[in-house]
Structures are given as C-alpha cells and as structure tokens.
Structure 1
Amino acid sequence: MPIRVLPDQLIHQIAAGEVIERPASVLKELIENSLDAGAKRVDIEIEEGGAKLCRVRDDGSGIEREELALALSRHATSKIANIDDLEKVGTLGFRGEALPSIASVSRTKISSRTANYSVGYSVSSDNGVLSELEPAPHSIGTTVEVRDLFFNVPARKKFLRAERTETQHIARMVERLALSKFETAFSLSASRRSLGDFPAARSQLEREKRVAQIVGDEFMANAMYVEHESSGCKLTGWLCQPTYARAQPDLQHFYLNGRMLRDRLISSAIKLGYRDVMFHGRHPAFVLFMEIDPRQVDVNAHPAKLEVRFRDGRHIHNFLFKTVERVLRETYAGAASAAPPPTDADHLMPTSEPTSMWPMRGPNQSSLGLRVSEPPMPAYFRQPSAAYPSPPAFERTSAVPTTAVGMEMPTVESQPPETPPLGFALAQLHGIYILSQAPDGLILVDMHAAHERTTYERMKAAMENGGVASQPLLVPLSVSVAASEADVLEEHAPSLNRLGLDVERSGPASVQIRAVPAFLAQKDLDELLRRISADLSADGSTRGIEEAINEVLGTIACHGAVRAHRILSVPEMNALLREMERTVRSDQCNHGRPTWTYVSMGDLDRMFLRGR
C-alpha cells in the first residue's frame, strides 16, 4: 500500500490501545483528571464490570463551557503549555490524549459547570462524532460517562474478562488511588451496590484508618510509620516488619509526587533494605510516599505513566535503600529506651532530620529517632551490664506442696527498681525458649534465632570497622568478560580493592583476579565477578560482593549460634537479653523469623478468665 495519513478516528483508536487496557484503565484516567481539578470528593459508578458504564463525578473546578468540546480533542490540555512545563510536570495527567482516546472506543458524555456559570453544559461523542453543546443541570464540578466500551472494536472487547474479574480490577485501582489522596473522599458502587466508601482523611489517625481499610488491619498491626527528608528527597508512609513478608509483591504501594508507580528501581532499592532480615523469595509490604523536585524525574516514559525515569537514579536508589535499612536497624528492644551515640556511619544519612517510626508489636511503642550506632563488641555472652544488673535472687517465702506439681514454686518478694525492655530471665523452656518477666507481661525469646542475629551483627561490625581481610591467590585467575564489563571493572577497581577483591585488567576482554576476600576464598569466583560487573553496570554499586560476604557471615553466625537444647544459666540468659537490647535488627533473625514475642498481663488474664 502507498504511504498515507491515517484517519483521525483510527489514530485515536491506536492511541486508545496504548492507554486503555480494560475498564479500570478508563477509570484511572478519569479519576486522575478529577484529582488534577482539585476534587475533594470523587464518586465512581460502574455497570457490568465497567463495560456497560463507567461514570465519574467530582466536585472539582469544572470545565469552562467554551472548552468542553476541546476536552475531547486530541492533545488538548490545560496542564502544560511549553517544553519547560513538560520538564516539571506536577499533575497526574498532562498529555491530553486520554479523553479523546476513550471517546473513540465508547459513547462518552461530559457534563460540567464552573463557578462562573449558574448552569452546567454537556457534550457527547459517539464513535468519535461530537454533538452540539447543550445546557445541563449540574453542580460545580464534572461528570464523565463512558458507555459501551469497545462497542466499535469487537476484537478488543473479546479480551475483557468476566464481570466479576473486571470489577475486582476496578476496586483495586480505586483503592490505590484512594491511598494517593487522603484529603479526597472516594466512593465506588456497582449497579447501585456500594463496593467501597473512603471518607476524607485529614488527621494521622484517619489516614491510618484508611490504610487499614484498604490493605488490612494485619498490615497496620505490623507497620512502622516512617518520615524522613534528606538531600532533596522526602519519604513518608508505612513499612511492615520483616516478619510480615509476603509470598507475592501484592502489598507494595509506592507513590512519587502523588503518582502511583510500579518501578523496578524503586522496588529493588526497598527490597535491598530488607536484605539482612528477610527470607529469600519473600517480598516486603509497604505504603510509601516520596516527594522530589519534579524536574528530577521524567514522567513521560510509559504510556500508562506507571514507570518513570530519574535524572539521577543512583541517588534515588541510595536514598530509598539507606532509609529503609536504617529504619529496620531500629527494630530492636532497646531502641526506645536509650539513644545510642553517633558513629562514623552516620554520614550515610543526615540525622538532623530524624526518621520517626511507630512499631506496633511488643512492649515499646514510642517514636524512635533515625540515628543508630553499631553494637558494641561484646564478649561471648557478656555478663549483665551495670545499667541493667541481674535481678536479686529469689527469696522463697512459700511453696506449693510437691504432691500438686512435683516441684516447689518460688515467689518473687520484690521487683527490681528498673526493668530493661526485655525483662529478666526466669527459666528456659525445653532448651529452646527463654522465658523473661517484663514489667507488665511475659517475653518469650527463641535463643538460637536471637543469638544468630547478635553474632551476625557483631561480625559485620568488626568487618566494617577493621576492613575486609584479603587473601592473595597463589595463581591469578583469568576470567574472560565482555569488553564493556572489563571497562566497568577497571573503572571501579579501587572500590573493589577496599572490599578485599583485587581485579586487574589483562586484555580488551579479560581480567585477572589476584586476591579475594578471605570470607569468599571457596566461592565460585567467575560467577561472583559477573554478578559484580552487572551491579556496577546497572547503578555503580558493589552489592554483589557485599551480598556474597553477608551470605557467608550469615552462615557462620547460624552455625556459631547456641543450638537448641543447650542448657543456659540464668546469667547467660540475661546476658543474651541485654545483648539483644543493644543489637540492631534484633527483632528478627537473619532469615526473617521473629526472635521474641510479648504476652501482656491482660492477655494472660483473658486466657485464664481472671476477673470474670
């Protein structure tokens, strides 16, 4: 066929194929337009999973009468005017292609009224043909009705799923948008049956209720509130404890400048922050909001605007990774009881603007600062410190007859004046768990998991403070790599050397390994080198070697920790409790399992029906 200009209707339908996958895609575009118009309430109605009707009504600023027809014209928008505006987009929509694309594959009607008029006006589009402007009763705001989606594109309509499936997609999409704008009220109904109602949430408590309504009470029961600002980036929201890890990344909600994203760089940075406290193959849960200068991000990189390009992706990656890692370092029992002194590691993240967290598990629920120091270098099972000495010896004042329980039960005459966060050890249960008396309840500690974490952090701190010991190879190992990989390895050779890896370029497409970290002497060096070069090529980091070293440290810590059924004395048990209180991330072992749990006196009273 000869080259020719396509008809406008076909152009619109091709554009629709880029942004309109299903009814949920239509509603996403319409709701985002409502939010851009400053709506404080958005009501969504659907019929037959959105295939028959998608209606969005808002109380935003409305569309001027003279501009209603223009709203259905291709690339007509009020949100940008020149290239400078495109480089600092602050709205959710900006390209002006959504409404005409939707109208080209449906029967669409827009009704709107601004504050300048006492009556509203409407315009319709049927198969791309515009109607005349007509008066229509309407309050200030806009209503868009999309009927018979894909009626003129049968091939696309065949790809729609069952009504129930499409309705579920719509419900999930509305929930994600409801998380992005707490100040806006949302309602969703299907055939006049309510599927969701989200009142405006202005206070912190109301926001937490909305989050719990959307992602579940269990999420909030395991969530830590985060608020941190540094180097032009601000992060707020909720991170879940590693013990709430998921088999699928189904509870990951991230918003950049109010825009919901599904971005690989962001996901990898957050997951990397969990690397020391989560099982392999598991996924963290979070609801996070990030704000940066709009000039630092290109939002015009994906047809559905779900992915973006950062001007400095490495800076964004490091900010997210280090913030998440530092927040998780605070998950230990002693974090709320005392602020540890600063260390040289604090240069990783400024501490003048603290991160606050809200741990919802365990006896400590106070707000924590971001500043954290590495744990001190304790001896194996350090004896109780002067700050928290061992409790006084139990004085036996009475005893239960041995015929009743087979042993005498001592009673405590007095409680020490100051009780540490994890309390004082009472006994060992089956050589596996430590039972400890807290100020208002009982704490149970998995001694192997707890000791594994404290050992790992102690070894990691020693490695970071003293550097990585390097072991020269008797015969340098030659590795063939791509020329681009050789370039990257040569460029980052000084950084690798500080990590104990001596790599030297030996040809256009080959390198030699002359020394390796002592921890990794028995590793597959070819595989390690390729993993490192991939990391360096992606974002200039040396994660590959760091993760390999951490993996070896974790294995050593696991094998070096006290084993089950080993009998510990009371001083040894108390020493482990004090060590946990000083150790970062001690709420979880290296595999993401909890190391301790708390049972309050109220829980125990309910268990034994006391007071009834």
Structure 2
Amino acid sequence: MAIRRLPEGTINRIAAGEVIERPASVVKELVENAIDADARQIDIHLVDGGRTLIRVRDDGKGMNAVDLELAIERHATSKLPDDDLVNIQNLGFRGEALPSIGSVSRLRIVSRARDDDESHEIRIEGGRQQEIKPASHGAGTDIEVRDLFFAVPARLKFLKTERAETAEAAAIVRRLAMAAPHIGFSLRSGERHLLNLQARQAEGEGQKQRLSDIMGKDFIENSVPIDASREAFSLQGYASLPTLNRSQSTMQFLFVNGRAVKDRTLLGAVRGAYSDFLMRQRFPMVALFITCPPEYVDVNVHPAKAEVRFRNQAVVNSLIVSSIREAIGFAGHRTASTNAESAIDAFRQQNYGRQPAHYAPTRPGAAEHGFNEAAQSFAGFEAISGDTSASDMPLDEDTADQPLGAARAQFHENYILAQTRTGIVIVDQHAAHERLVLEQLKAAAEKSEIATQPLLVPEVVNLDVVSVEHFAAAAEQLARAGLVLEQFGPDAIIVREVPAVLAGAKIANLIKDLADDLETIGQ
C-alpha cells in the first residue's frame, strides 16, 4: 500500500489516545486550563463517571470569539508567547487538549472574556467543528464534554466502573487543588457533592488549611514543616512523623513549580529519607513543593506532564533527604497522637506477652493451604506461656523436624526462640499471628464460610472522598470477605461487620490501610 497523508480527524483521534486516556484525563486538562486562566472558582460536574458528561466551569479570563475559534485548533496556545519551551510558566502549553477532546466526544465551549460584553459558543462533534455563534454567559468559560469516546467506542471497553472512574477524577482534582489553595474547587458526581474546597490564602496558613482539608487534620497535627533551600532549588511543605504512616504511597504528593508530578526518582528520595525510621512496606505521608527557575527543570518529557527532569537531580534528591531527616530530628521523640495508643497496645503484655498460645490457629486445619508451617509448626509453644525462662528440656523428635522447631524461650515479650535439629529460629509472634489469620481467612474464603461478627456499635471511619468512592465500588467484594460496610456521607464509611478472626482489631487502622490498597489497585 502506498504511503498517504492521514485525514485531520484521524490524526486528532490518534493524538487523543496519548492525551485522553480516561475521563480523569479530560478533567485534568480542563481544570489545568482553568487554573492557567486565573480562575478563582472552578466547579466540576460528572455524570456516569464522566462517560456521559464532564462539565468544568470557571470564572477566569475567558476568551473572545477569535481566541475561542483558535482554541480548538491543534497546537494553538496562548501560553508560549516567545515560543520558548524552556521558560514555561503555565500548567499547559502544548495546545493539544481541546482538539483531542473534541475529536472523541461532543464538545461544547461557551466563554466570555472579562473585558468583553459578548459571549460566544462553539461545538465540535467527533472532530467536526460547527460555526461559532453568540451565546448568553457570564465572564469565564464553561466547557461540556458529552458522550466521551463515542467516536472511538473500542476505548469504552477499557474504562472501569463508574465509581472507580469518579474516584480517579476526584484524585486528580485533589492534587490540583493542593497546589492552588487560592482557588475554590467543587466536585459533583450526579447529585452527590464530593468536594467543596473554599478558596484560601495562597501561602502560609492558607496552604496549611488546604492540606488539612484534603489530607486530613491528623496529617497536619502529626507532621513536621519543611522549609529549606539549596542552590537554585527550594523545598516547602509537610512530612509526617514516622509513626504516622500508611500501607501504600498514595498519600505522598509532590509538586514542582505548582505542577503535580509522580516522579519515581523524587519518591525514591522520600523513601530514602525515612529509611532509618520506617519498617519495610510502610510509607510516610508527605506534601512537598519544589520551586526553581523554569530553566532548571524540563516538564516536556511526558505526554501527561506527570514526570519532570531536573538539570541537577542529585541536588534535588539531597535536598529532600536532608530536609526531611533534619525536620524529623528536631521533632525528637515526638510520636503521632493518632497512632500512639495503637503502638502502646501492640506491645502490652496482655496482647503479645506471655501468651504465645494466642497465636496458634483456632482450627488446626484452617491454614493447610499455602502455609505449611501452620498449626503443627507451633507445637510446644504453649509450654512457655507461663514461664519465659530458657528451657533445658530435651528436643522432642516429633517437633525437631518442624519448620519452626520447638519453643525454648521468649524474650522482649514478643519473640520466641525455637530450636530445630540443625539450628535456632526466632519467631515474631505478632507477624506469625498475622500470617495465621490471613491463612484462616483464605481457607474460609475457599469454602465460602467466612464467619463474621456484627459490631455492637458500628464504627464510623472518616476518609477522603477518593477512598470513600473506592470502598463504595468494592463493597460487594468486601462483604464476601466478611467486611460489611457502607458509605456514610461523602467523606466517611460505617463498618457494621468484620471477619470473626479480626474481632478486637483496630478497625480504623484496618480501613485506612485497606483504603490505600484499593486506591493502588483501582477497581
């Protein structure tokens, strides 16, 4: 087949595949445009997770008729006045978003410039542009995106559930709002109000209050302020105390010159800063804002502008590591108030001390699948429940060949020293208990026999709106696993039943860790 030039509509749909992956991508592009237009209030409305309708309205600068017609042309932008790709001062600059959106949806834009008396409207359906016409509208811009991906129906098959798409869009709005406390944000899904953030001061207490609104009061109360600089780079924000941590890195937010980024190198620096304070598989909560001259960072390296490249990456990494460690050092032995009680409980004698028998499985056969050391592996551990001194009993032949051997002593009220035929084994009672409980749940799930325990007083757990959406989407699957919960307002869930083997556990901690896992894997 001979080489030919593709039609403009096909080119736009191909380009849209890079820029517009899902409804949240549309929300990101439109909200960034509103922020660049100096808006003071941005309202987002979603229907059907963004499939049916995405509407973004702002009170920014707006556009006159000439600018409106140019805005929907590819690579037309007002954000590169000198064609300088180094000195980028705005969130958007490529001029790809609106034509890409218009090529795969039914796009309607109504706008009026602040210094203009007339407003205008333009429509695009599947890349086909209609004539611009007068309209009735106040200052600012109102953009409606209907029937997303109707022009490329194959893309619809790859979208997730309505709740999952809504949660992803809410996560995007949340990140953008953190970097723009001077702008008010509202987000609705159908008739449900998910976010309502009032405009704050651009810096100082306004920034702190915005972080509290999004990440929770616990974060602000149990974090240390960061304010440092090195060479051309400065770093501000907050980092949680080591005792306030999560099971995933979903509560780590990084910004470069006001742009939300997900850069593995920067996240690695955060991880390195906490390496001496946190155990593996636990992640701190941080909100860090890096500022530098535009020429020191390249933001044009990723289609979604989610990654950046610094002129001197080592300086930035060193700044993050040293600043966090120094701030934590000044905090001394201060611990998170929300976790202090849990940490104390975890080391109390009644929980883990002098009761190793508590960690044996309640049903010897429950842990047969996937955990060969279960039940029989702990044979003889009960013998030390009343005496933690070293035992001089001869090694029993029946237990000598067990993976965990025979219990000989307990120390620090949390570890068991066991003897095998060829050596010794040190067992963490707490970790062993967690593994046995997991295997009991897995075995019960295979037989569809997970016993649940209703809570005498249902527990309400406050979360962010993104986590609530994820829980609502996964409620049916969680119920099959023995965790019965339901949405309790826009920013909380109520737990009514838990698996019987988890009776007495810290429900709030369990839910928060599970929220991180759900956000990581999606729905």
Tell me, yes or no, if the aligned pair for 2:258 and 2:289 is still in contact at 8 Å: yes
Tell me, yes or no, if the aligned pair for 1:45 and 1:192 is still in contact at 8 Å: no
Match of 1:15 in 2: 15
Q: How does 1:211-610 map to 2 (within 5 A)?
A: 211-332=211-332, 564=412
SS at match of 2:284: coil
Q: CA deviation digits over 1:233-280, x for unaligned, max 9? A: 111111001111222111001110010000011111111111211112
Match of 1:189 in 2: 188
For residue 217 of structure 1, report the CA deviation from its aligned partner: 2.6
SS at match of 1:158: helix
Q: Distance in 1 between matches of 2:115 and 2:38?
A: 16
Q: CA deviation digits over 1:274-315, x for unaligned, max 9? A: 121111232221011110111011100000000011111112
Q: CA deviation digits over 1:168-197, x for unaligned, max 9? A: 111111111111100000001122331110
Match of 2:42 in 1: 42
Q: Distance in 1 between matches of 2:206 and 2:268?
A: 30
Tell me, yes or no, if the aligned pair for 2:86 and 2:294 is still in contact at 8 Å: yes
Establish whether residue 180 from structure 1 lines up as the match of residue 207 from structure 2. no
Match of 2:71 in 1: 71
Tell me, yes or no, if the aligned pair for 2:49 and 2:166 is still in contact at 8 Å: yes
Q: Distance in 2 between matches of 1:321 and 1:93?
A: 30
SS at match of 2:243: helix
SS at match of 1:94: coil
* Letter in structure 2 aligned against 1:276: D
For residue 143 of structure 1, report the CA deviation from its aligned partner: 0.9
Normalising by the residue count of structure 2, what TM-score does the alignment of the two structures yield?
A: 0.63
For residue 360 of structure 1, report the CA deviation from its aligned partner: 8.1
For residue 108 of structure 1, report the CA deviation from its aligned partner: 0.3
SS at match of 2:11: helix
Q: Distance in 1 between matches of 2:190 and 2:331?
A: 47
* Letter in structure 2 aligned against 1:37: A
Q: CA deviation digits over 1:103-159, x for unaligned, max 9? A: 000000111111232121111101111111111111111111100000010110111
SS at match of 2:283: coil
For residue 361 of structure 1, report the CA deviation from its aligned partner: 5.1
**Alignment CA distance shift 1:314-1:169 (3 Å):** same
Tell me, yes or no, if the aligned pair for 2:226 and 2:323 is still in contact at 8 Å: no
For residue 564 of structure 1, report the CA deviation from its aligned partner: 4.7
**Alignment CA distance shift 1:169-1:62 (3 Å):** same
Q: CA deviation digits over 1:486-510, x for unaligned, max 9? A: xxxxxxxxxxxxxxxxxxxxxxxxx
Q: Distance in 1 between matches of 2:211 and 2:188?
A: 20
Match of 1:154 in 2: 153
> Gaps (5+ residues) in structure 1?
334-358, 363-428, 434-562, 566-612
Q: Distance in 1 between matches of 2:262 and 2:114?
A: 37
**Alignment CA distance shift 1:360-1:247 (3 Å):** closer
Tell me, yes or no, if the aligned pair for 2:224 and 2:331 is still in contact at 8 Å: no
Q: How does 1:53-202 map to 2 (within 5 A)?
A: 53-83=53-83, 85-202=84-201
Tell me, yes or no, if the aligned pair for 1:224 and 1:360 is still in contact at 8 Å: no
Q: Distance in 1 between matches of 2:231 and 2:288?
A: 18
Q: Distance in 1 between matches of 2:204 and 2:90?
A: 24
Q: Distance in 2 between matches of 1:258 and 1:233?
A: 13
* Letter in structure 2 aligned against 1:241: L
Q: Distance in 2 between matches of 1:303 and 1:10?
A: 19
Q: CA deviation digits over 1:448-474, x for unaligned, max 9? A: xxxxxxxxxxxxxxxxxxxxxxxxxxx
Q: Distance in 2 between matches of 1:283 and 1:361?
A: 14
Q: Distance in 2 between matches of 1:361 and 1:28?
A: 34
Q: Distance in 2 between matches of 1:65 and 1:208?
A: 40
Normalising by the residue count of structure 1, what TM-score does the alignment of the two structures yield?
A: 0.54
SS at match of 2:280: coil
* Letter in structure 2 aligned against 1:192: E
**Alignment CA distance shift 1:126-1:205 (3 Å):** same
Q: Distance in 2 between matches of 1:361 and 1:73?
A: 52
Match of 1:491 in 2: none
Tell me, yes or no, if the aligned pair for 2:53 and 2:146 is still in contact at 8 Å: yes
Tell me, yes or no, if the aligned pair for 2:104 and 2:148 is still in contact at 8 Å: yes
Q: Distance in 2 between matches of 1:161 and 1:275?
A: 35
Q: Distance in 1 between matches of 2:315 and 2:336?
A: 32
For residue 206 of structure 1, report the CA deviation from its aligned partner: 4.3
Match of 2:441 in 1: none
Tell me, yes or no, if the aligned pair for 2:243 and 2:336 is still in contact at 8 Å: no
Q: CA deviation digits over 1:554-579, x for unaligned, max 9? A: xxxxxxxxx859xxxxxxxxxxxxxx
Q: Distance in 1 between matches of 2:207 and 2:275?
A: 29
Q: CA deviation digits over 1:13-65, x for unaligned, max 9? A: 11111011110110100000000010111011111111111010111111121
Match of 2:51 in 1: 51
SS at match of 1:15: helix
Q: Distance in 1 between matches of 2:114 and 2:170?
A: 32
Q: Distance in 2 between matches of 1:66 and 1:51?
A: 30
For residue 7 of structure 1, report the CA deviation from its aligned partner: 1.1
Aligned residues: 342
**Larger-Rg structure:** 1
* Letter in structure 2 aligned against 1:145: E
Tell me, yes or no, if the aligned pair for 1:223 and 1:360 is still in contact at 8 Å: no
Q: Distance in 1 between matches of 2:170 and 2:270?
A: 26
* Letter in structure 1 aligned against 2:42: V
Match of 1:569 in 2: none
Q: Distance in 2 between matches of 1:25 and 1:221?
A: 33
For residue 78 of structure 1, report the CA deviation from its aligned partner: 0.6
Tell me, yes or no, if the aligned pair for 1:180 and 1:258 is still in contact at 8 Å: yes
SS at match of 2:49: helix
Q: Distance in 1 between matches of 2:114 and 2:43?
A: 20
Q: CA deviation digits over 1:192-234, x for unaligned, max 9? A: 3311100011174443333222122322232112222231211
Q: CA deviation digits over 1:541-599, x for unaligned, max 9? A: xxxxxxxxxxxxxxxxxxxxxx859xxxxxxxxxxxxxxxxxxxxxxxxxxxxxxxxxx
> Gaps (5+ residues) in structure 2?
338-343, 349-410, 414-523
Tell me, yes or no, if the aligned pair for 2:297 and 2:311 is still in contact at 8 Å: yes
RMSD between superposed Cα atoms in Å:
1.9
SS at match of 1:35: helix
Q: Distance in 2 between matches of 1:204 and 1:80?
A: 30
Tell me, yes or no, if the aligned pair for 2:229 and 2:319 is still in contact at 8 Å: no
Tell me, yes or no, if the aligned pair for 1:57 and 1:143 is still in contact at 8 Å: yes
